[in-house]
Structures are given as C-alpha cells and as structure tokens.
Structure 1
Amino acid sequence: MAVKLMAILLVETALFVITGHVVLATDSNSKHERPQKVTTTIRDNFRRANGVIKSIQSEDGDIIDCIDIYKQPALSHPALKNHKIQMEPSYVPTTDQTTRKINRAKGKKNKPSKSEVPLSVIKQIWHKNGSCPEGTVPIRRNLKTNNKAVPIVSRRYQRSFSQLSQNNTSNLLRPNHALSVLMTDGDPYFGAQGGIAVYNPEIEKSDEYSLSDISLETGGPESFETVRSGWMVNPAVYGDKMSRFFTYWTSDGGHETGCFDHICPGFIQVSKNIALGAIIDHISTPPNKPAELLSISIYKDMYTDNWWVDSGGEKIGYWPANLFEELNHNAEAVQWGGDVYSTRLETHPHTATGMGSGGYSSPIDWLSGSIRGIRILRILQNSLVWIYPDWAAPYADQVNCYDYNLQVVSDDPVFYYGGPGSGGQASKCP
C-alpha cells in the first residue's frame, strides 16, 4: 500500500513539473484553498536559460523573442567562440562627395539633393505589440523556416561587366535567376548604400522569390563571398508572401556557409529595435505616392574589418571579420536592384512572379521599383567618402519580363527596374 501511494505521489509530482499548472495557496479573505497559477514552467526556465527575456506575439503571426545580447544565435558559430561584441561602429562615414560636387558645380550650397534618402528607421508590424528591453535583441522565432530551400547565386562574373558587349552577355546568365540591376566593379569598395522602394510583388509559386537589395561581393562565381541586405518576399524561407527585411551572407558561394538573417549563426545584432526577417509595416501601393523607402547602408569598419548594416541611422549589427577571408580587405563589386528566382524563367509559360512593384520600370517614382541615393564608399584623397560610382551600368537578362531605366537627368541618378513576369494584361513576357 505504501509503495502504491508513493507511486501515485511521484506521478502527480511529475505531472505538476511538466505542466507547471497549479499549486495550493490560502486566500487571505477565505478559509478555503484556491488554485494559483504558476508562472514559472519548464518552458519558461528553458527559454530563460537560452537568453529569452521577453516574447512578443505580433499580429502578423510572428513571434519575436527578446534575447540577451550575449546569448544571441551568432555567438554559437565556431569562429566566434571568443568574440567580443562591438556595440557600435568605430566610425560612421557621412561625407557625401557626390552631393557636394554637384552643388559646387551648380553654384549651390551643400543642400540635400532631391534624391537623397530620408533617414527613416524601418517600421515593422511587431512594433505595434511591444518592444524589447535594453540589453536584448529581437530575434524572429523560426516557425516555418527552410533555409536550404532557395539558393543564392553570385551576381559577379569572371570578367568585368564593362568589358562585355551587348551581344555577348551569355556568361552573365545564371540558372533560374532573372536580374535587373545596376552594377559597378573594378575598384576596391568599402561600402554601398541606397534607398529601396518597398513593394509586395506577386509570387506565383511557393518555391519562388522576389527580392530587392544591395550586395557587395568578392571572389569567383563558385566560391564568392558576399554580404547583402534589402527586402524579400520568399515563401520557402518565411512561410508567407509578405515583404520582409533581410540580410544574407556567405563565404564560400553558399556551399557550406552562410544564410538568411539569424537562421544560422553569423550575423551579430546590436539593435533592440529591428528584427531580421520580420514583416515591413509600410509598403508602397501603386499608384499612390510617395513610395515607401527602405534606406540601407552596408560598410566596412576599417579598424575591426567587420561589415556593418545600417538603416536610417539605426546600427542594426554586423558580420564579423572572422567569417571571411577576401572581404576582410574590400569588396570588388557592388549591385543594386532586383532578383527573381524561379525554375520557370525560360520556359513557357514563364512565371508570373513580379519584380520591384510588379510593373515595368517607369520614371514615375510611385509606380516602379526604384533605388535612389546610390552610393559606394571609397577612399579619395586619404578620406572615406560616399560617392556615386565613376562607372556603373544597368543590366537585365530578361528585358521583356523585367526591365530597367536609369534616370541621370536629375541632380542625382535614380535606378528604376522591375516587371510582372508573365502576369498582367500589360506583360510582354512570353
């Protein structure tokens, strides 16, 4: 009998530990005992042990965990075992040589150009439901993630784009990828920036994606190193068809290293306000104006060799130098623009997945995908300055489906790009 009673008590104790449901407490206003909810469960203990201080349920379905900055996922990377977090850049490059040069030529004072990117911080839907406390960083809980579902390919090529003729672009093509980009290469680059109009283009099938971003790259097409950031609609990675802020990196052409956001370790976050992979709140809706811009700056810290990501003055975080070899020195190519991934790009029917706004390029800002405030970071006269590239060329490998328009008549060039694929009545795509 004693053994049986002990067994019952053990089972009840085990159930209590697992569920953490109730304990008995005496109500001060009553002689009767009442159940009292226990706030500390096994799950809570586990989450706190892994650095989760607070969780925020977003109305879009995402769960944002506010994680102790010193327990964030990146620090589990073998190369970052003893990494000391750099809380802010050693410097913030601000001198804009392009605007100064243009204004001097026009006899004007140093006033912002019409195409200057406004310093607005990313707004994300989860912000409506709370914020992360100091000392934590917001990490999107990966509920529907498949990091290996969609490949990222090199957007740099064996020889310089400037050496290619219009009739010899075969080595620019990449299987299952359609590009419409402004590109520059041939110089050492230490950063790039621009203001990208944010849209929510149609994604026809769940294994396809559309993105608009800024990328810096070095190395050969099979073993390239790259850092990229912008917005993306990617059902295979995020589980829906919404525009999300993303980062991506690889140090070996995507064979063994690299990934989106925090899905695998690598990117060190310092901002408590921006969650990688979270849905962007303000989306451009053609034909309404003005277009909503996502301002992105990616630049190398010359003292630590870390590559920082900044949006609207918010220092989001960085890729540590330990992740790379060639990018520790500089980037060899920069691109701004759009990329569509589909296995039906050169078939009939062509995919109806859109790029940019989902409409063809147009100099009307609120109708088309666009990037303004285009800059690269270079050393000029012993100083780091933001400047429009000395040489930059647009390129699209399926102009009937996704085209471009580089406007250089204004006081600051703007790159327009995009298209509907085979979707829509106005489509010229087969």
Structure 2
Amino acid sequence: MSLFLNSVRSLLVIQLLLAISYGIINVSASSDAGNRQVSALELEEIKQYLESINKPALNSIQSPDGDIIDCVPVDKQPALDNPLLRNHTIQMMPSMIPTYRGGNYTTNTENVRQLWNDVGSCPNRTVAIRRTKIEDVLRAGSLSEFGKKKLSYRSSTLTSPPPGHEYAIAYPESTQNQFYGTKATFNIWNPDVEVSGEFSLSQLWVTAGSYENSDLNTIEAGWQVYPLIYGDNSTRLFIYWTANAYSSTGCYNLRCHGFVQTSNSVAIGGALSPVSTYGGMQYEMTLLVWKDPGSGNWWLKFDDALVGYWPSELFTRLSSYATSVNWGGEIVNTSPNGVHTSTGMGSGRFPAEGFRKASYIRNLQNVDSTNTLYPVQSISTHADHPNCYDVKSYEDTDWGVSFFFGGPGKNSLCT
C-alpha cells in the first residue's frame, strides 16, 4: 500500500508539472465553486506549499473514510519549519500531567475513534499526519486563505461576535483571571451544514490578550464539520491557534507551521467515528489542554493520547498563563439578504431536549498554578441568537458542572 501511495504521489507531481508547462488549467475546486482558471504561477505556488506541508513519509495508510494518513518522522514534521522553532528541541513527553482533585464522573456513553486506526498504524518515532491535497487548497479560493479564519475578528469577542459568527457558550462564573489549562468531555454529532463555506463546531478556547490591542492569543480544540476545509461533511478533530488576534498568525490543524505533534495514533483533522444518534448511543471525546510547568509549552491530550503541544515560542500573552477559558458551539452564517442559515449547531436540537438528543459539554475542569485539575463550581452562559441556537447549564453528581447547547438554525422564530 505504501509503495502504491508513493507512486500516486509521484504521478500527481508529474501532472502538476505538465499543467504548469501549458500555462493555465481548468480545475474543479468544489461543487460550490465550480470550475475556475488556475494560472501556472498559482499552481506552482500550491505545488511548493504541498511539498512543504506533506513531508516524506515512512509509510502511508488509506483510511476507510477517504483520508490518507502519512507516517512522518517526528523530527521532520512541518512545525519545525517555523522560524520561531529553528532551535526548538522536541519535547516527546510533558514534564507533568495535571492531577485531579474532585469526584469521578461517569455516564452511559462510549468513546469515539478514528477509522484509520482500524486498518493500519504508524511506527514509533513518527507522527500521523492527514495528507493535504491540491483540491483542499483550491476550495479555499487562494493559498493565502487556505486554513485560515474566513472573517475578520478584530474588535470582537465571544459575546460580541464578528459578522456571520454565532455562538452558544459557557465560561467560569468567577473573578479568577489566571488559568493554566482546561478539560472537558464533548459528545460527538454530525450536524447539517448548509453550504461549503459554513461550519459547525464544538470546542474549548484558552485565551489571553485582547482584540482591541491586536495581541489576542488563543488555543482552540474540538470537533467540527467544515466542507470548505475538508471536502466532505465528516465530523473531524481540529485545533487552531493565533498569536495576534487572527490577523497574520495561526490556522486550522497543521496547515501552518506551529503545533508540534508527538502522537503516532491521532491524526489532527482526521474524521471521528461513530457519532451520537438522536435518542440512541452517545459517543464522546475528552480534551485536556494545559501549560506544562517544566517547559512552558501548552499540551493537548485527546482521551488517553498525548497528541502534542503548542510551543511557548509561538505566543506572547499565553507565555505565562491564560486569562480566560470558554467552552461551547459556533457556526458561520453566510446566508444573504438576512435569511438565516439552516446549518445546525451541536445535534441540531435545542438544549431543552436534554441527554441523548441535545449536544453537551460535561465535567468542566480547570488547571491551577500547581498543575492540579479542579472542578468548575459554576458557569455563566451566553447565546447571541437564542432563537437559533441556545445554551442551558446543567449539574448533577454524575456529570459535575456541564451544559447543553445547540439548535437547528433557521426555524419559525429564527428567520
């Protein structure tokens, strides 16, 4: 299989070079974009970018969901091309993993997985990277927009969002302003997304700085459905980061150089399966992001897997600690003329429907300066379009402090 995939890759490169030699080609970027003219210069730039992001692999795995997972030597991964990491030494393990003080929360659910693990595995000292294809770049419209946030976030907050972005979120109800990480359990859904340029996600945010000063630093992780990025409607694990309010730094997953991966079993951007069903089995993932006290790097844990970290060198305001954490859902509404999108958030159902029907984030915990996890005591919630997507706090002895959120988008009260 590895030899076959390497042959396919070589053939694609040859095809690109032939296309360049003829000057201009016609490429179908997506079902929404249709055919568009791609110049020889643009095609050459894309080719060079793909060579920089798709590092040579020891072997490759064809996933049942259509992805190709490349097993790249850990010291050859794209993050190390970032000039800020020129002298970076890879930290294969955190110095400490946060310990927990509090009760043990359980529920009748099962963990989600990534299907490529069913058909292959990456060897030790490699990292599992989802291959980026030329079609992925073409769907973005330009190389400069590829993997970036589509709308300007300047002078925006989660409770005063940028145009088109709608939230249903929760945040700690306290005066605390120093956080060293957060942990939460998410149930996984596959909401309908109306058009390719819209997305639906469930995530956590760890932030410091501000939009107003253009020094907002964020670390983000969760699940999303985003056809423009991935070319399909699968639910996928994602990460994002920025060091200057989404202005010129940061991107989704590994599409710009920054996040250092250490896992050979988790592919960032890889599809998650199975997803929860309405009234049926609920599938979950647990994410933990924390600042390693030994290195200062911000680590990501997905269920039991240490995925990797955001090096401290990437950040300014997050170099010491975060000043806020948030959890919740977000969609993008691109519908014209004031007609609201039918893109769903969470399960596509309102939070009042509860367990097995609505999307939730449960067992909210934060990390303190002693690298200890502690249960969140209370939360505040915010929904900027509650007739479209709402949020409702919840707490019991099994779940700790939690909340349900989401909605269908367009309906009789959301038009």
**TM-score between both structures, scaled by the size of structure 2:** 0.79
User: Is 1:202–2:192 an aligned residue pair?
Assistant: yes
Larger radius of gyration: 1
State whether structure 2 residue 62 is matched by structure 1 residue 57. yes
Displacement of 1:319 = 0.3
Q: Which residue of the partner structure matches residue 305 of structure 1?
A: 296
Does the alignment pair 1:83 with 2:88?
A: yes
Alignment match, 1:123 = 113
Provide the residue aligned with 1:175 in structure 2. 163
Tell me, yes or no, if structure 1 residue 316 matches structure 2 residue 307. Answer: yes
Check conservation: 1:182, 1:335, Cα contact below 8 A: yes
8 Å contact kept, 1:309–1:317: yes
**Which residue in 1 is equivalent to 2:100?**
95
Post-superposition offset of 1:148: 4.5
Query: Aligned residue for 1:42?
Result: none
The change in CA–CA distance for 1:376 and 1:116 in structure 2 (over 3 A counts) is farther
Once residues 208 and 301 of structure 1 are traced to their aligned partners in structure 2, the CA distance between those partners, rounded to angstroms, is: 34
Q: Look up the match of 1:136.
A: 126
Alignment coverage as a number of residue pairs: 352
The CA deviation at 1:390 is 4.5
Question: CA distance change for structure 1 residues 398 and 50 in 2, over 3 Å: closer, same or farther?
Answer: closer
Note if contact 2:344-2:408 (Cα within 8 Å) is conserved in structure 1: yes
SS of 1:126's equivalent in the other structure is helix
Q: Which residue identity does 1:269 align to in structure 2?
A: Q
Unaligned runs of 5+ in 1: 1-17, 20-45, 100-111, 162-170
1:75 and 1:255 map into 2 onto residues whose CA distance is 22
**Equivalent residue runs for 1:28-427 within 5 Å:** 50-97=55-102, 99=103, 112-114=104-106, 120=111, 122-143=112-133, 144-145=136-137, 146=140, 147-148=146-147, 150-151=149-150, 172-184=160-172, 186-221=176-211, 222-289=214-281, 291-344=282-335, 348-362=338-352, 364-379=354-369, 383-410=370-397, 412-422=400-410
Q: Is the 8 A contact 1:360 1:419 kept in 2?
A: yes
Q: Distance in 2 between the 1:279 and 1:260 partners? A: 14
Q: Secondary structure at the match of 1:273?
A: coil
What value does the CA root-mean-square deviation take over the aligned residues?
2.6
Give the distance between the partners of 1:312 and 1:116, measured in 2 at CA: 16
Give yes or no for contact 1:58–1:64 (8 Å, CA) kept in 2.
Answer: yes
Distance, in Å, in 2 between the alignment partners of 1:239 and 1:66 is 22
Task: Letter of the 2:127 partner, please give it.
Answer: V
CA-to-aligned-CA distance 1:123-154 (integer Å, 9 cap, x gap): 11212221111111111111214325643776
Query: Residues 151-191 of structure 1, C-alpha deviation per residue, up to 9 Å, x if partnerless?
Result: 37769977xx9xxxxxxxxx723211100000137420000
1:429 correspondence with 2:384: no
Deviates most, 411-420 or 267-276: 411-420
When residues 365 and 195 of structure 1 are mapped into structure 2, their CA distance, relative to the original with a 3 A threshold, is: same
Query: 1:27 corresponds to which residue?
Result: none
1:51 Cα deviation after fit: 3.6
Q: 1:153 to 1:229 in 2, by over 3 A?
A: farther
The percentage of counterpart residues that share the same residue type is: 34
The alignment partner of 1:407 has SS state of: strand
Aligned position for 2:33? none
Q: Is the 8 A contact 1:115 1:414 kept in 2?
A: no
Q: 1:264–1:223: structure 2 CA closer, same or farther, 3 Å change rule?
A: same
2:375 corresponds to which letter in structure 1?
Y
CA distance in 2: counterparts of 1:152 and 1:234, whole angstroms? 15
Q: Is the 8 A contact 2:130 2:269 kept in 1?
A: yes
Q: Deviations over 1:31-79 (max 9, x none)?
A: xxxxxxxxxxxxxxx99x9441001111222111100111001011101
Q: Aligned-pair distance for 1:398?
A: 0.1
TM superposition score normalised by structure 1: 0.76
What is the match of residue 5 of structure 2? none
1:198 CA drift (Å): 0.5
Deviation sequence 1:297-346 (CA, Å, 0-9, x none): 0000011110000011210000000000110111111111100012239x
SS across alignment from 1:52:
coil
Contact 1:298–1:308 at 8 Å: present in 2 too? yes
In 2, Cα distance between the equivalents of 1:317 and 1:406?
31
1:218, CA displacement in angstroms? 0.7
Q: Distance in 2 between matches of 1:298 and 1:180?
A: 21
Q: C-alpha distance in 1, partners of 2:236/2:349?
A: 19
Given that 2:293 and 2:371 are in contact with CA atoms closer than 8 Å, whether structure 1 keeps it comes out as no
Whether the aligned pair in 2 keeps the contact of 1:68 and 1:137 (CA below 8 Å) is yes
